[in-house]
Amino acid sequence: DAKTTQPNSMESNEEEPVHLPCNHSTISGTDYIHWYRQLPSQGPEYVIHGLTSNVNNRMASLAIAEDRKSSTLILHRATLRDAAVYYCILRAAPIQGAQKLVFGQGTRLTINP
Protein backbone atom coordinates (compact mmCIF):
# COMPACT_ATOMS: atom_id res chain seq x y z
CA ASP A 1 0.00 0.00 0.00
CA ALA A 2 1.34 3.43 -0.98
CA LYS A 3 2.18 5.59 2.01
CA THR A 4 0.96 9.08 2.89
CA THR A 5 2.62 11.63 5.16
CA GLN A 6 0.65 14.19 7.14
CA PRO A 7 1.54 16.63 9.91
CA ASN A 8 0.65 15.24 13.34
CA SER A 9 -1.34 18.30 14.32
CA MET A 10 -2.58 21.66 13.08
CA GLU A 11 -4.41 24.54 14.66
CA SER A 12 -6.68 27.16 13.16
CA ASN A 13 -9.25 29.72 14.15
CA GLU A 14 -12.98 29.53 13.75
CA GLU A 15 -14.38 30.96 10.50
CA GLU A 16 -10.97 30.92 8.83
CA PRO A 17 -9.93 28.60 5.97
CA VAL A 18 -7.86 25.52 6.80
CA HIS A 19 -5.42 23.83 4.44
CA LEU A 20 -4.50 20.26 5.45
CA PRO A 21 -1.53 18.92 3.47
CA CYS A 22 -0.76 15.33 2.49
CA ASN A 23 2.32 13.99 0.74
CA HIS A 24 2.10 10.78 -1.27
CA SER A 25 5.24 10.66 -3.41
CA THR A 26 4.89 6.93 -4.21
CA ILE A 27 1.34 7.21 -5.53
CA SER A 28 0.58 5.02 -8.53
CA GLY A 29 -1.36 6.12 -11.57
CA THR A 30 -4.51 4.30 -10.50
CA ASP A 31 -4.55 5.33 -6.83
CA TYR A 32 -7.41 7.54 -5.70
CA ILE A 33 -6.81 10.06 -2.92
CA HIS A 34 -9.42 9.74 -0.17
CA TRP A 35 -9.97 11.87 2.90
CA TYR A 36 -11.86 10.72 5.97
CA ARG A 37 -12.19 12.47 9.29
CA GLN A 38 -12.91 11.19 12.77
CA LEU A 39 -14.68 13.40 15.27
CA PRO A 40 -14.13 12.69 18.98
CA SER A 41 -15.72 9.43 20.14
CA GLN A 42 -17.13 8.68 16.68
CA GLY A 43 -16.25 6.44 13.78
CA PRO A 44 -14.52 7.94 10.74
CA GLU A 45 -16.65 9.65 8.12
CA TYR A 46 -15.98 10.15 4.43
CA VAL A 47 -15.06 13.68 3.38
CA ILE A 48 -13.99 13.68 -0.26
CA HIS A 49 -11.93 11.83 -2.85
CA GLY A 50 -10.29 12.52 -6.20
CA LEU A 51 -7.96 11.13 -8.85
CA THR A 52 -6.39 13.98 -10.83
CA SER A 53 -8.67 16.99 -10.95
CA ASN A 54 -9.58 19.23 -8.05
CA VAL A 55 -12.87 18.28 -6.40
CA ASN A 56 -15.46 20.20 -4.43
CA ASN A 57 -18.37 19.03 -2.31
CA ARG A 58 -20.50 20.46 0.47
CA MET A 59 -17.93 19.57 3.11
CA ALA A 60 -14.60 20.54 1.56
CA SER A 61 -12.40 20.97 -1.49
CA LEU A 62 -9.55 18.73 -2.57
CA ALA A 63 -6.65 20.28 -4.46
CA ILE A 64 -4.37 17.74 -6.16
CA ALA A 65 -0.89 18.68 -7.38
CA GLU A 66 -0.21 18.29 -11.07
CA ASP A 67 2.30 15.47 -10.42
CA ARG A 68 -0.15 13.91 -7.91
CA LYS A 69 2.59 13.58 -5.31
CA SER A 70 0.74 15.80 -2.88
CA SER A 71 -2.74 17.03 -2.15
CA THR A 72 -4.46 19.53 0.14
CA LEU A 73 -7.82 19.27 1.84
CA ILE A 74 -9.39 22.69 2.15
CA LEU A 75 -12.05 23.58 4.70
CA HIS A 76 -13.24 26.97 3.47
CA ARG A 77 -14.62 28.27 6.74
CA ALA A 78 -13.78 26.16 9.77
CA THR A 79 -16.24 25.72 12.61
CA LEU A 80 -15.72 24.18 16.03
CA ARG A 81 -17.44 21.05 14.72
CA ASP A 82 -14.58 20.55 12.25
CA ALA A 83 -12.19 19.69 15.09
CA ALA A 84 -11.23 16.11 14.29
CA VAL A 85 -8.46 13.80 13.10
CA TYR A 86 -8.19 14.00 9.30
CA TYR A 87 -6.87 10.98 7.40
CA CYS A 88 -5.43 11.09 3.89
CA ILE A 89 -5.61 7.61 2.33
CA LEU A 90 -4.60 6.20 -1.03
CA ARG A 91 -6.89 3.56 -2.40
CA ALA A 92 -6.52 1.48 -5.53
CA ALA A 93 -8.97 1.95 -8.39
CA PRO A 94 -12.48 1.01 -7.22
CA ILE A 95 -12.73 -2.52 -8.52
CA GLN A 96 -14.69 -5.19 -6.80
CA GLY A 97 -12.86 -6.54 -3.74
CA ALA A 98 -10.01 -3.99 -3.73
CA GLN A 99 -11.50 -1.60 -1.20
CA LYS A 100 -9.17 -1.73 1.80
CA LEU A 101 -8.59 1.60 3.55
CA VAL A 102 -5.15 1.81 5.18
CA PHE A 103 -5.28 4.54 7.82
CA GLY A 104 -2.13 6.33 8.99
CA GLN A 105 -1.83 8.56 12.06
CA GLY A 106 -3.71 11.44 10.47
CA THR A 107 -3.64 15.14 11.36
CA ARG A 108 -5.35 16.28 14.55
CA LEU A 109 -7.03 19.59 13.75
CA THR A 110 -7.81 21.96 16.60
CA ILE A 111 -10.14 24.90 15.99
CA ASN A 112 -9.87 27.87 18.32
CA PRO A 113 -13.03 29.92 19.01
Does position 104 bind another protein by CB under 8 A? yes
Contacting residues for 64 by C-beta, under 8 A, at least 6 apart: 33, 50, 51, 52, 53, 54, 55, 71
Q: How buried is 7 (Cβ within 10 angstroms: 0-12 exposed, 13-18 middle, 19+ buried)?
A: middle
Per the CB < 8 A criterion, the answer to whether 4 and 86 are in contact is no
> According to the binding rule CB under 8 A, does residue 86 interact with another protein?
no
Instruction: Report the alpha-carbon distance of residue 104 to residue 81 in Å, rounded.
Output: 22
Segment contacting another protein (CB under 8 A): 14-22, 54-62, 71-79, 104-112? 104-112
List the one residue from 106, 107, 109, 111 that touches another protein (CB under 8 A). 106
Which residues in 24-83 contact another protein (CB under 8 A)?
Answer: 34, 36, 41-46, 49
Largest CA distance in the chain: 44
Using the rule CB under 8 A, which residue among 87, 90, 107, 109 binds another protein? 87
**Exactly one of 28, 105, 110, 112 binds another protein (CB under 8 A); which one?**
105
Residue of 56, 101, 110, 112 that binds another protein (CB under 8 A): 101
What is the residue type of 23? N
Residues near another protein (CB under 8 A): 34, 36, 41-46, 49, 85, 87, 94-97, 99-106
